[in-house]
Amino acid sequence: MRVDLNADAGESFGNWKLGRDEALFPLISSVNVACGFHAGDPLTIKHTLALAQKTGLAVGAHPGFPDLVGFGRRELAATPDEVYADVLYQVGALSAFLKVAGIPLHHVKPHGALYNRATKDPQTARAIAQAVKDFDPRVPLVVLPATPLESEAQELGLSTVAEAFPERGYSRDGRLAPRGSAGAWIHDPAEAARRAVQMVVKGQVEAVDGGLVPVRAQTLCIHGDNPQAVEIAAAVREALLAEGVAIQSY
Confidence of residue 226 (pLDDT cuts 50, 70, 90): confident
Question: Distance (Å, rounded) from C-alpha 96 to C-alpha 108?
Answer: 15
Span 42-89, pLDDT tens digits? 999 999 999 999 999 999 999 999 999 999 999 999 999 999 999 999
Query: Tell me, what's the pLDDT at 181?
Result: 87
Q: Which residues face 249 on adjacent strands?
A: none
What does the pLDDT look like over 172-219, one tens digit per residue?
Answer: 888 888 888 888 899 999 999 999 999 999 999 999 988 899 999 999
Q: Tell me the domains of the chain and their CATH numbers.
A: 2-247 (3.20.20.370)
User: What pTM was estimated for this model as a whole?
Assistant: 0.95
Q: According to the model, what pLDDT value does residue 210 have?
A: 84
Residue 235: half-sphere exposure toward Cβ, Cα within 13 Å? 19
> Cα–Cα distances in Å, from 243 out to 129, 201, 235?
34, 8, 13
DSSP line for 1-12:
-EEEEEEEE---
Whole-number percent of the chain with pLDDT over 90: 89
- What is the per-residue pLDDT for 250? 86
Mean pLDDT, residues 85-95: 98
Determine the average pLDDT of the residues in 34-47: 97
**Mean confidence (pLDDT) of the chain:** 96
Q: Tens digit of pLDDT for each residue in 144-180? A: 999 999 999 999 999 999 999 999 999 988 888 888 8
Confidence of residue 224 (pLDDT cuts 50, 70, 90): confident
Q: Where does the pLDDT of residue 225 fall: very low under 50, low under 70, confident under 90, or very high at 90 and above?
A: confident
| Long-range pairs of 20-26 with CB within 8 A, sequence gap ≥ 24 | 20/224, 20/229, 20/230, 21/48, 21/51, 21/224, 22/51, 23/230, 24/222, 24/224, 24/229, 24/230, 24/233, 25/51, 25/52, 25/55, 25/57, 26/55
pLDDT for 30 beyond 90: yes
The C-alpha atoms of residue 185 and residue 32 are separated, in whole angstroms, by 20
Q: Of the given ranges (90-104, 123-137, 203-217), which has the lowest mean pLDDT? A: 203-217
